[in-house]
């Protein structure tokens, strides 16, 4: 049992992070050296649009499969019929929404985008196809994961990753431009979708049995609005920048988000690793609970701070990777932008206590507040401050939600009272601000500032967590 659990965790973690890793390490440098910032901006907007299509074209009904899987798992035939019904309803809804988008897409794009070069055909066309395809293989992948069919799951995931990467590179090298990137993603997604439909052909019926969807429809009436809020919070600023500024600035800001977003990948990975221990600690007596949660917070925050400082170091040396001068403009923003992610890292871990106590109403309310606030700030600040407006809006919103949690739910954030938490937190924020202002006063350049803050972070963390690091090393040896 334990061996299977460990092997499954390693495999799923590897597959989960392989795609963003391939994108960050292989594809992004490739894109940045081929596409000017205007085209990179279009590519980013189409990626965000494709995500929205995936959420809405089938009303997010496939997300219900994750939730209601265990209502049918005891009966294999009923489970496969449920999956077949889910795929057929997805097919009908996707065909209908795709038809509407293909007919109205050009008018819709003219309404949304200021820049006349952003057309539905070909950009929105390929992005729509990719978004629609995701709804077919997502529930089947959940089925394979829950049935513990690891090899099959891994084969499909790896096929999608490598086929998509290969097609994108091939199409770009054959002068398809950013259309080649969109087409490569779409074709690989549909190849997997067709395979999924073929494998489930025995359970696909033209007639929809609505008894399978009574509870799923009740589920999505709350789930869909929250996912739309998540999308607006995460991607709405790109569309506002395009409306009030330019595609070039969209491209630069998107690159900033992709690189700084690697911090989220880091703390999501750590959070996934510690979550079982976190929930176990919450079930224990208060004294033991607080001690164990304190240790988990320290471990989580230590790695998050290292990731944030490492990203600043990477951006400070981005001229080693990118040949186009326009992309080097992201350097000043990163020193301020990562501060928001440090606050969010703690907020997201605190959210797990709401989930543990089944208090999703509070997280939904916080999501509404944060989304409304960030949209208002973006609309107020971006027209005059451009990218700085978006950065200030994002950082301010993340800090506001953190402060709101501290005021309303202080018991959820008790680990911050420890010097091992607040001292490195204050010091890393301070050194980032000092480094930024030192460059503004021409005492050093951004590359030197990135090295300075990284060195200071390593030294301060090694001092604060000296005993903790010794304990980990001794435990590992034993």
The mean predicted confidence, pLDDT, of the chain is 87
Place of tokens 């106590």: 357
Q: Is pLDDT at 3 greater than 60 in this prediction?
A: no
Closest Cα partner for 135 from 190, 201, 70, 184? Answer: 190
182 and 328 together in one domain: no
- Per residue in 10-33, is it b (16+ CB within 10 Å) or e — as a string? ebbeebebebeeebbeebbebbbe
CB 367 within 8 A of CB 233: yes
274 and 203 together in one domain: no
Confidence category of residue 2, pLDDT binned at 50, 70, 90: very low
163 and 273 together in one domain: no
Which token pair is 367?
Answer: 């999501």
Residue 66: predicted pLDDT: 73
Mean predicted confidence (pLDDT) in 395-410 = 94
Number of separate domains in the chain: 2
pLDDT tens for 170-185 read: 999 999 999 999 999 9
Residue 252: predicted pLDDT: 96
**Highest mean pLDDT out of 143-157, 353-367, 379-393, 404-418:** 379-393
Mean predicted confidence (pLDDT) in 105-127 = 95
Q: How far apart are CA 284 and CA 452, in angstroms?
A: 42
Mean predicted confidence (pLDDT) in 207-231 = 86
Q: Evaluate whether residue 13 is within a structural domain.
A: no
Of residues 199 and 292, more confidently modeled: 199
Range name among 72-86, 244-258, 337-351 with the lowest pLDDT average: 72-86
169 and 293 together in one domain: no
In angstroms, how far is CA 107 from the centroid of its own chain?
29
Q: Evaluate whether residue 370 is within a structural domain.
A: yes
Residue 1: predicted pLDDT: 41
Residue 384: predicted pLDDT: 96
* Final residue in a domain of this structure, among 186, 217, 248: 217
Residue 451: predicted pLDDT: 96
Confidence category of residue 471, pLDDT binned at 50, 70, 90: low
Residue 5: predicted pLDDT: 44
213 and 345 together in one domain: no
Residue 8: predicted pLDDT: 55
Residue 455: predicted pLDDT: 95
Q: Evaluate whether residue 15 is within a structural domain.
A: no
Q: Evaluate whether residue 225 is within a structural domain.
A: no
204 and 266 together in one domain: no
325 and 178 together in one domain: no
Q: Evaluate whether residue 223 is within a structural domain.
A: no
Residue 330: predicted pLDDT: 96
Q: Is pLDDT at 147 greater than 80 in this prediction?
A: no
* Final residue in a domain of this structure, among 157, 182, 217: 217
For residue 122, give its domain range.
36-217
3-state DSSP of 149-214: CHHHHHHHHHHHHHHHHHHHHHHHHCCCCHHHHHHHHHHHHHHHHHHHHHHCHHHCCCCCCHHHHH
300 and 407 together in one domain: yes
Strand (E) or helix (H) holding 352: helix 331-356
Residue 9: predicted pLDDT: 53
Of residues 436 and 467, more confidently modeled: 436
Which token pair is 27?
Answer: 């594809």
Q: Residue 430: how many CB atoms within 10 A of its CB?
A: 13
Mean predicted confidence (pLDDT) in 426-435 = 93
164 and 287 together in one domain: no
Residue 339: predicted pLDDT: 96
**Highest mean pLDDT out of 71-75, 88-92, 422-426, 452-456:** 452-456
Range name among 147-161, 169-183, 310-324 with the lowest pLDDT average: 147-161
φ/ψ of 17, rounded to 5, equals: -95, -5
Range name among 50-64, 120-134, 387-401, 443-457 with the lowest pLDDT average: 50-64
Of residues 24 and 310, more confidently modeled: 310
Q: Evaluate whether residue 224 is within a structural domain.
A: no
**Highest mean pLDDT out of 209-223, 335-349, 385-399, 461-475:** 385-399
Q: Evaluate whether residue 242 is within a structural domain.
A: no
pLDDT tens for 357-400 read: 767 778 888 889 999 999 999 999 999 999 999 999 999 999 99
340 and 473 together in one domain: yes
Q: Evaluate whether residue 88 is within a structural domain.
A: yes
Q: What is the dihedral of CA 140, 163, 177, 173, to 10 degrees?
A: 180
CA angle 24, 270, 289 (to 5 degrees): 165
Which token pair is 257?
Answer: 């988000």
159 and 307 together in one domain: no
* Final residue in a domain of this structure, among 217, 237, 272: 217
In angstroms, how far is CA 267 from the centroid of its own chain?
11
168 and 305 together in one domain: no
Mean predicted confidence (pLDDT) in 35-58 = 94
Q: Is pLDDT at 4 greater than 80 in this prediction?
A: no
Mean predicted confidence (pLDDT) in 254-264 = 92
Of residues 114 and 351, more confidently modeled: 114
């Amino acid at each position: 049992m334990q061996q299977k659990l460990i092997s499954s965790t390693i495999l799923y973690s590897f597959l989960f992070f392989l795609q963003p890793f391939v994108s960050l390490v292989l594809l992004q440098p490739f894109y940045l050296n081929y596409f000017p910032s205007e085209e990179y901006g279009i590519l980013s907007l189409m990626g965000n649009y494709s995500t929205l299509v995936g959420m809405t074209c089938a009303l997010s009904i496939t997300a219900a499969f994750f939730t209601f899987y265990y209502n049918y798992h005891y009966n294999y035939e009923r489970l496969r019929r449920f999956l077949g019904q889910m795929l057929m309803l997805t097919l009908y809804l996707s065909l209908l929404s795709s038809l509407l988008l293909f007919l109205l897409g050009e008018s819709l794009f003219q309404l949304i985008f200021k820049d006349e070069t952003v057309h539905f055909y070909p950009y929105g066309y390929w992005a729509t196809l990719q978004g629609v395809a995701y709804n077919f293989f997502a529930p089947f992948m959940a089925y394979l994961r829950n049935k513990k069919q690891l090899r099959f799951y891994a084969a499909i995931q790896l096929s999608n990753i490598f086929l998509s990467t290969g097609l994108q590179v091939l199409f770009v090298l054959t002068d398809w431009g950013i259309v080649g990137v969109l087409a490569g993603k779409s074709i690989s997604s549909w190849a997997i979708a067709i395979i999924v439909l073929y494998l489930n052909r025995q359970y696909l019926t033209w007639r929809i049995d609505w008894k399978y969807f009574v509870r799923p429809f009740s589920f999505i009436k709350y789930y869909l609005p929250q996912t739309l809020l998540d999308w607006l919070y995460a991607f709405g600023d790109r569309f506002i920048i395009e409306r009030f500024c330019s595609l070039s600035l969209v491209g630069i800001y998107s690159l900033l988000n992709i690189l700084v977003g690697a911090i989220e990948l880091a703390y999501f990975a750590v959070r996934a690793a510690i979550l079982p221990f976190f929930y176990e600690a919450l079930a224990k007596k208060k004294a033991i609970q607080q001690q164990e949660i304190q240790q988990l917070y320290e471990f989580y925050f230590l790695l998050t701070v290292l990731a944030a400082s490492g990203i600043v170091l990477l951006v400070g040396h981005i001229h080693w990777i990118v040949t186009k001068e326009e992309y080097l403009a992201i350097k000043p923003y990163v020193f301020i932008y990562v501060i928001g992610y440090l606050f969010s890292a703690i907020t997201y871990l605190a959210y797990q206590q709401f989930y543990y106590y089944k208090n999703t109403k509070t997280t939904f309310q916080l999501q509404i507040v944060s989304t409304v606030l960030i949209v208002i700030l973006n609309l107020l600040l971006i027209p005059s401050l451009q990218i700085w407006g978006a950065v200030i809006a994002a950082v301010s919103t993340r800090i506001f939600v953190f402060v709101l949690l501290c005021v309303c739910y202080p018991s959820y954030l008790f680990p911050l009272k420890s010097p091992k938490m607040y001292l490195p937190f204050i010091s890393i924020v301070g050194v980032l601000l000092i480094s930024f202002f030192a460059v503004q006063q021409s005492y050093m350049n951004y590359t030197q500032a990135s090295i300075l803050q990284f060195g200071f972070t390593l030294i301060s963390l090694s001092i604060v967590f000296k005993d903790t690091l010794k304990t980990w090393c001794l435990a590992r040896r034993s």
